[in-house]
Structure 1
Amino acid sequence: MPYPLDAAAVRAWCGLALEALGRQRERIDAINVYPVADGDTGTNLYLTLESATRAVEAAFDGHASTGTAPCLADAIGAMAHGALIGARGNSGTIVAQLLRGMTEVLAAGGGADGGPEALRSALRRAAASTYEAVAHPVEGTVLTVATAAATAAEAAAGDAAAVARAAHDGARTALKATPAQLAVLGRAGVVDAGGCGLVALLGALADALSGEATAAPVALRADAPLPEAGGREATRHEVDGCADADEDGPAFEVIYLLEADDAAVARLRTRLDALGDSLVVVGGDGLWNVHVHTDDAGAAVEAGIEAGRPYRIAITHFGGAARTREPELAARAVVAVVPGAGLAGLCAEAGATTVSVRPGEPPASGELVQAIRQAHAREVMLLPNDPDLRHTAAAAAEQARTEGVRVALIPTRSAVQGIAALAVHEPDRSFDEDVVAMTAAAGATRYAELAVAERQSWTMAGVCQAGDVLGLIDGDVAVIGAELAATAMTVLDRMLSAGGEMVTLVLGDGVPAALAERLEQHVRERYLAVDTVVYEGGQHAAPLLIGVE
């Protein structure tokens, strides 16, 4: 029995899509041959839809608490927003844009019309929007599959369920043709991985509206390799809808959410296009998801800082391991959770895969597991850099171990301890020796941070008022002051009274360099044998992080 395209149908769609991608995740990962053959397209799509599903459930819960029910606009808007903030990789980012394109149509006029004509228009807008988001579109990818789905939907008669089924069938047919459109697929004898995920997504939509199960999963292998059968090579700017399939491609994948206006994003696109490949920028209304492959991860993050406010920054170092069909794993890698853009760039330059967080939005264990996978190493050192992430990081490490990765959880409680641990990381020595050295370096680093009190409260140092500057040493409030520099000097004096050879200062977002100069001078004048190093961290929660070794 067909069902209307309403909020309940969107909720059912999310659940069915997540189930379908869960079943097919490993199969899709296995055929992922570009932009780099890192075998994560299925996983990225699953995580993207998982975020979308959580957002839809939150929308239903929010309405239930007020005794109301969400409309189509509420549900499809939540699905698109959840996919945007949780998008992973090229394919996940493109699917987020597809959902946003559908939302532009289905949420119009309050989302009351979920009929067949609205669905046709939504699928057409979804396909068109992906071409707008991708810097250098190419056929034979998920973009082609989306366009074929929209074309088939436009030709279909009947209700919304019939339109969705036609879109699914059109996508399946287009997917089978992708190996003949791109020689890189033909030689590997596989269909496009991102397109395969989109077929699963559309199949789930058809199931949600029709109440009937789809046919058997689509074949992932081409009938035969087609290296010369009309397919052309992907150029430097043409893979997964965008860029670069050659073995000498960029070294880093950089992804972040960005708060910025349209004009700034237009400039950002131009700059990132000159920096690298696989450029996809999706979103709107002030919030964007940015994805690029580049050799200069720091410059890609700095471009985001110039455009607006980047956060949830994830930098993956390909390291050449993912440039062949069967990637050779690196011996050892580091995964670090960092609180700011500057720290993300610093750790990435040191070879670490990073997960950047924003205040109040800690990473889930699934995000850390995915970062461990993306490190492409047999052994991984995991740096949580936050005491509140201990259990999350432990769960992620345990999950990764079940997948055959040897993971050591280094007990870093602050980013400055993570910097110290990363500085002594030596992948050429034995695993156990490296764990001991990194743990010892972190443990030998006392850490502090300055924060601004949001309200009156009791602390270990007495009662603070809203607006007071708090100096926390090893996690406890030790100093309450009225001014940032003076409070920082008091904190440094207390920490250095127990000795120390090196002071690390990590400046937060918007903190002037003059503060670092004052603190450097203070240390130099009072502690002659102590060196000071300063980093632009870009963290939002703490104006200053301090480490003493």
Structure 2
Amino acid sequence: MRPAAAKVTSVLDGQLWRQMMASGAKALELKKHEVDALNVFPVPDGDTGTNMYLTIQSAARDAEKITGKSIGEVAAAASMGSLMGARGNSGVILSQLLRGIAKGLEGLNTANALQVAQALQAGVDTAYKAVMKPVEGTILTVSKETARAALAMAKSGGSLLETLQEAEQKGLKSLAKTPEMLPVLKQAGVVDAGGQGFLVILGGWIAVLTGETSISDTMSETESSLKPNVEGSTATRQEFMQIENLDYPYCTEFLVKGTDLRVEQMKQDLLDRGDCLLVVGTSEVVKIHVHVKNPGKILDYAIQWGSLHQVQIHNMLEQNENMAHAMKENETTEDLQTDTKIEHQGQPLKEFGVVAVAMGQGIADVFISLGADEVVFGGQTMNPSTEDLAEAVRKVPARQVFILPNNGNIIMAARQVKDVVQEREVHVISSKSIPQGISALLSFNSEGEAETNIKNMERGLSSVRSGEVTYAVRDSQYGDLTISDGDILGLIEDVIVSTGKSLYEVAQSTLDKMEWKTHDLVTIFYGEDTKLEEVERLQDWLREENPSIEVEVHPGRQPLYYYIFGVE
């Protein structure tokens, strides 16, 4: 338990919640890579910490825009910010926790310990309802135990600080038990990443109440292990915002598209240019997020590498004049969206449109050629946010828009688009892979009825099996497979089925386990790091083994994955 500050507040108001949101975001910023490392599978796509950080950062940014002291108003703003910024399943669940907390605090100017505990419970209830098949041993379990402990402490007369400290302690115990609830965690030797991230945020909240100010000293003691100690602390909001916002007031986000983009070099070049740097992507598409003094210098640097897209610059010091004005602006914006965005400057509307998610220009080109209106670049390690998807939907000149997430970790964020885009009817097709997305799009009929299209596209998902070939990022044991760092891995529907040292042999084994010879078509997307001679060798083997089966080969140019297979 942390020592309490000399003066402990008995109630939570909007100003304090803003501080806590900023502190939680800062705490996770420092620990996000450690949370990322808690990946169950030894494949290069661990991004839970990054997704949760970007989600809570968006919540803190929107909370900061509210000038009033009402806890209900600030919590509502944070909730909307997290909704728009939610990325990945972990980020979406976090946004739902904050959404439920906001509901619990709705209409309140201040909240006491019991009301805060009840709001935490409302957050847990909301998060469980948002997940179609809740799984215990995850962030859901950890947040449930924290809320239960908070309620018990508050009902026994505990202070606000004591209530959250007790919640954290019970949460840590719950986190340590997650490997016993999910055997896959125990086998991988990790605790649940989402639960760990949530407790890091909670630690940041508590640090504000205790008055601790040295986040770098205390957070360095945090260990992500089977018995983690998330004793995090952070600077107060005044200190955090003074350091970050006055020195680097412009939040700058954009995509760079080009050829031979060097992610690590770009990251090193930008390290000393600002704060909160995030550089992720591939040799063709890179996403950059950074807080800077002069956005123009960053854009001038980036344009040397390629073309700039989806440029967003926010002045973090700018605040709304008052809440009433903000609400009026929102109402006006909604009216304009209905009256002008839906018309697309006089462009005639069609009935249906399609937004697809893809990482790799080659894969994106295939979706466009099959009729997708917009492609959002994203996938492993680069999950697009709900806001990214919503922006793409709004660009489509159609009354109804189908979203193809094409990744299991993007589906929940896509479903939230329905809550933020009112001027379109949005349908999310639950495609979990690129082959599924293509199969669904091939089942789409622009002249058909919406319900018929939904049924046909969902049915199309079941007609294709998806496989992938990538590499291991650490030593691991998965079932009967002993995996070494750097091994080639074959997966079918996200399950590791083959491992070895030879790309060619693992690709063969994976296709055989997909029973490709019993199907009519094999589709291969090869990645940016796959040599053409390897592709031709695999293609020759397929034709020699069964020349009657059609084989399609495309340069997907995707990162991380040497091959993406589809058999149908």
Per the normalisation by structure 1, the TM-score is 0.47
Task: Compare relative contact order (CA 8 Å, sep 6+) and give the higher one, 1 or 2.
Answer: 2
